[in-house]
Amino acid sequence: MKTRVLKIDDLNRDCNLIGEAAELIKAGEVVAFPTETVYGLGANALDSQAVEKIFRAKGRPGDNPLIVHVSNVRDVDKLVDEVPRRARILMEAFWPGPLTMVFRKASIIPDRVTAGLDTVAIRMPNHPVALRLIDFSGLPVAAPSANRSGHISPTTAQHVLEDLDGRIPLILDGGKCCVGLESTVLDLTADVPVILRPGGVTLEMLEEVLGEVRVDLNVLRPVAGGQKVKSPGMKYTHYAPRAQVLIVRGELAHIVKRINELAEEYADQGIKTGILATQETKDCYKKGEVLVLGKRTRPAEMASNLFLVLREFDVRGVDVVLAEWVDTSNEGLAIMNRMVRAAGFNVIDV
């Protein structure tokens, strides 16, 4: 299959290109498109055969459910059993935006989308191309990130092409994604809402609107063998660069000291080492390929750089990445959720 890339420069002038993509969705095909978080690979959420093509193109495990994207809050009513009051409050506060909510599902949603769960995850993305595509198709669009399963999520059309060229018919290129990390996934089916995956809408932001919000323990910890999880995506080591990642946690001065020691050891052994540093520490490192995530005082900026920086380590061909732990308040929780998975939970305390 030939993969076409259509560049959307001007929303109104290039409207017909989005229309073409919408026709593909209506015809049961898959299309990659930009959202504010990462690029998604979308298909008609009401058609299991179309949804099947997403799993096939990505090589995604069948037990990992998909997020359904809408362009209008009214569309949610048809897809869920009931819209709780607090969901309305959250839609008002954060939609369109990087917040996915988990509801009890309506029977119209095929089991393939939800991997057999009785719940469905729904979000309204804050990107004009995504909103128009969903709107033109007139359908709810199931869409996971547009990468091969287990790879780093794509934040540009070029990343999508690197992973899925020849496997999907069309990519809409809307430039670089601004949030750069996947959405927050919030379970609203329990008494107290639970963050299953941290993202751009932070715990602090949710607490301000809702009061009590919990964070699932598996956000920063591995899922134990045989443990039943609320969000199957938690089981998988996503976001992995080719290099082996090791995270160092502790007081900042101790982190820097240990990373320098390790970098020295690796250099002696001829291991090509990358260091994931921050603006505040970058000049403290003597060896290795040092890349900067951002300023520690600006976690949203660090979050938006994370996947790009991890990909850059791949480009530079490092064998090992030594990464600093960052504070887990605000967007820091989402950063460390992705990082511990990229590291296969390889964290050393100093």
Q: CA 333, 117, 210: angle at the middle one, nearest 5?
A: 40
Which residues in 42-101 contact ligand AMP (CB under 6 A)? 64-65, 67
CA distance 247 to 54: 32
**Residue 128 near residue 10 (C-beta atoms within 8 A):** no
Query: What are 343's two structure tokens?
Result: 């590291």
> 231 or 305: whose CB is closer to ligand AMP?
231
Helical ranges in 41-188 per DSSP H: 48-58, 74-79, 85-94, 111-114, 128-137, 157-164
332: partner contacted, choices ligand AMP, Mg ion, none (Cβ within 5-8 A by kind):
none
Residue 102 makes contact with ligand AMP by CB under 6 A: yes
Residue 185 in the binding site for ligand AMP (CB under 6 A): yes
Residue 158 C-beta-side C-alpha neighbours within 13 Å: 4
Residue 44 pairs with which residues in a beta bridge? 141
Q: Binding segment for ligand AMP among 24-32, 115-123, 240-248, 296-304 (CB under 6 A)?
A: 115-123
Q: Does residue 120 belong to the site contacting ligand AMP (CB under 6 A)?
A: yes
Q: Which of 35, 145, 273, 278 binds ligand AMP (CB under 6 A)?
A: 145
The CB-of-68 to ligand AMP minimum distance in angstroms stands at 8
145 part of the interface to Mg ion, by CB under 5 A: yes
How many other CB atoms are there within 10 angstroms of residue 206's CB atom?
22
Do 319 and 217 touch, CB atoms closer than 8 A? no
- Subset of residues 195 to 234 that bind ligand AMP, contact rule: CB under 6 A: 196-197, 230-233
Name which of ligand AMP, Mg ion, none residue 232 binds, using a CB cut-off of 5 to 8 Å depending on partner kind: ligand AMP
Task: Tell me which residues touch Mg ion (CB under 5 A).
Answer: 145
What is the contact surface with ligand AMP in residues (CB under 6 A)?
Answer: 64-65, 67, 102, 114, 117, 119-121, 144-145, 182, 185, 196-197, 230-233
